[in-house]
């Protein structure tokens, strides 16, 4: 009788495909179905010495499985434990391997991961709805889906296939509490379409953390074909990324991104402006202050300014002799942009080299921000100038705008990093037909 009942239950719950057989079931106080089962043909071999151990007892492992009759299911797997008697083996007790049911340390079965992705990707179900159906926390579904989506996206040959220009960015995850490394992510972008003029930059991956080792590990995990294909790695000024790239992709050319160079110069311009503002007015920027009024105009290329804005810029900068420092930093800022925008890259490179050489040292006092900028640009001159040697067909402005757009997209509305990764990756590959391969 017991056998028959068990066989019926196994057929209904499809537990045979998991390699287990149902021994008992109960409905708990939270209206979840708890299914108790035993492993069919457990592997008695010790993971260390591979010699069969002696059966000892069983340990319960609880896993969330796919819903049954519309109710959440908790699978209690009685995992056999064995004692290893091999003389030199360091292992004494071990559990039978049940990786065909669930990954190590996972709290859901592997088939539930597949079920989650099917419902999110194919049925467009929300993470919250899926979590409700499974009777688990939103976080668990989200993490499982993000990890599985990442695995699937990587399995897609188109995902990393054409990447010749790789962009690496650090991004502060503003919704994360605290200021430690955990609030940073490393963003990997395929810039090849921008360089080729075939489309916008494409998100490849986001990895929690910002360090040399985060990027080094990611690069190390890629296959040789990918490492050989990447010719240029564009990045910001963070030296950890530079070292990681030099070590992992020694043949790739490291380029410092125009966007970050312009941003760096813009920051120094702002700092200089607020310092002079404080010195000449004795307070932080207020509405009527001449330097405060032009704070945005200062960041705009001259040819994009209206005549009225140009006039305002001129009167504000000349209204006080102390403003000359702001004017000088502003000029350098514009020269850096002009170098990037030059129609001929060779000429642009010359302009940039002149700017870097001029401000690298020996500046008169009162230009502290510019001196700092000069030192940074000098230290990174090789990567900054390398930009001009790298094939760019679509003009650097698009590259800058594309990057800006991308960073803005990242910052918008996503309170949870895993969720952002999931949503981003879902749209970056042909996921649907790959889910069943999980
Ligand atoms: Zn052993």
Distance 43 CA to ligand 1 centre (A): 13
Q: Which residues contact 267 (CB under 8 A, 6 or more apart)?
A: none
Distance 97 CA to ligand 1 centre (A): 14
What is the rounded CA–CA span in Å between residue 204 and residue 190?
6
Domain ends where: 240, 255, 270?
255
Distance 98 CA to ligand 1 centre (A): 18
Distance 152 CA to ligand 1 centre (A): 35
Note the pLDDT of residue 411. Answer: 46
Is position 324 within any domain?
Answer: yes
Q: Is 429 helix (H, G, I), strand (E, B) or coil?
A: coil
Q: Is 72 helix (H, G, I), strand (E, B) or coil?
A: strand
Note the pLDDT of residue 177. Answer: 53
Distance 46 CA to ligand 1 centre (A): 5
Distance 83 CA to ligand 1 centre (A): 8
Distance 47 CA to ligand 1 centre (A): 7
Is position 121 within any domain?
Answer: yes
Domain ends where: 374, 389, 404?
389
Is position 406 within any domain?
Answer: no
Is position 303 within any domain?
Answer: yes
Domain residue limits at 287: 259-389
Note the pLDDT of residue 321. Answer: 84
Distance 45 CA to ligand 1 centre (A): 8
Q: Do 170 and 291 have their domain in common?
A: no
Residue in this structure with the two tokens 């094939």, named with its chain if needed: 391
The domain tally of the chain equals 4
DSSP tally for the chain: helices H, then strands E = 18, 10
What is the pTM (predicted TM-score) of this model? 0.63
Dihedral angle, C-alpha 13, 19, 24, 29, nearest 10 °:
-60
* Ordered per-residue pLDDT tens for the chain, 438 residues: 455 778 899 999 999 999 999 999 999 999 999 999 999 999 999 999 999 999 999 999 999 999 999 999 999 999 999 999 999 999 999 999 999 999 999 999 999 999 998 888 777 788 899 999 999 999 899 888 888 877 777 766 677 888 998 888 877 665 545 555 567 778 888 888 877 878 777 777 778 788 999 999 999 989 899 999 999 998 887 889 999 999 999 999 998 888 788 889 999 999 999 999 888 888 887 887 888 888 888 888 888 889 999 998 888 888 888 888 999 999 999 999 999 888 898 999 999 999 999 999 888 888 999 999 999 999 999 999 998 988 543 344 445 445 545 554 544 444 556 666 666 666 554 455 566 555
Distance 63 CA to ligand 1 centre (A): 27
Distance 1 CA to ligand 1 centre (A): 38
User: Cα–Cα distances in Å, from 72 out to 39, 135, 283, 369?
Assistant: 21, 5, 62, 61
Distance 40 CA to ligand 1 centre (A): 22
């Amino acid at each position: 009788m017991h056998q028959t009942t068990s066989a019926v239950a196994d057929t209904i719950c499809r537990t045979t495909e998991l390699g287990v057989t149902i021994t008992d079931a109960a409905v708990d106080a939270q209206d979840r179905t708890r299914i108790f089962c035993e492993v069919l043909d457990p592997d008695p071999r010790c993971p260390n010495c591979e010699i069969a151990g002696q059966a000892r007892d069983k340990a319960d492992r609880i896993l969330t499985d796919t819903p049954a009759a519309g109710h959440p299911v908790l699978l209690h797997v009685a995992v056999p434990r064995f004692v290893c008697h091999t003389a030199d083996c360091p292992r004494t007790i071990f559990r039978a391997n049940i990786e065909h049911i669930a990954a190590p340390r996972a709290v859901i079965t592997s088939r539930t991961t597949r079920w989650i992705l099917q419902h999110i990707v194919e049925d467009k179900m929300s993470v919250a709805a899926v979590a409700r159906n499974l009777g688990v926390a939103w976080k668990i579904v989200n993490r499982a889906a993000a990890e599985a989506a990442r695995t699937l996206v990587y399995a897609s040959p188109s995902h990393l296939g054409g990447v010749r220009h790789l962009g690496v960015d650090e991004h502060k995850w503003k919704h994360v509490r605290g200021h430690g490394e955990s609030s940073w992510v490393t963003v990997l972008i395929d810039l090849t379409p921008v360089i080729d003029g075939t489309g916008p930059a494409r998100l490849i991956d986001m990895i929690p953390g910002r360090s040399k080792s985060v990027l080094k590990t990611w690069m190390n995990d890629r296959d040789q074909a990918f490492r050989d294909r990447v010719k240029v790695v564009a990045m910001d000024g963070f030296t950890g990324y530079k070292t990681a790239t030099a070590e992992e992709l020694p043949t790739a050319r490291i380029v410092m991104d125009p966007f970050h160079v312009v941003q760096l110069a813009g920051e120094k311009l702002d700092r200089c402006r607020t310092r002079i503002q404080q010195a000449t007015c004795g307070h932080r920027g207020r509405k009527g202050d001449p330097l405060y009024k032009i704070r945005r105009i200062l960041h705009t290329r001259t040819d994009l300014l209206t005549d009225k804005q140009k006039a305002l810029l001129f009167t504000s900068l000349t209204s006080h002799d102390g403003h000359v420092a702001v004017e000088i930093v502003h000029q350098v800022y514009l020269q850096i942009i002009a170098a990037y925008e030059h129609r001929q890259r060779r000429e642009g490179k010359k302009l940039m080299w002149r700017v870097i050489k001029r401000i690298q040292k020996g500046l008169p006092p009162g230009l502290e921000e510019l001196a700092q900028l000069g030192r940074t640009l000098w230290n990174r001159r090789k990567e900054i100038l390398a930009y001009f040697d790298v094939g760019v067909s679509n003009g650097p402005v698009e590259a800058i705008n594309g990057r800006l757009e991308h960073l803005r997209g990242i910052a918008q509305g996503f309170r949870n990093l895993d969720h952002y990764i999931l949503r981003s990756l879902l749209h970056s590959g042909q996921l649907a037909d790959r889910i069943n391969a999980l």
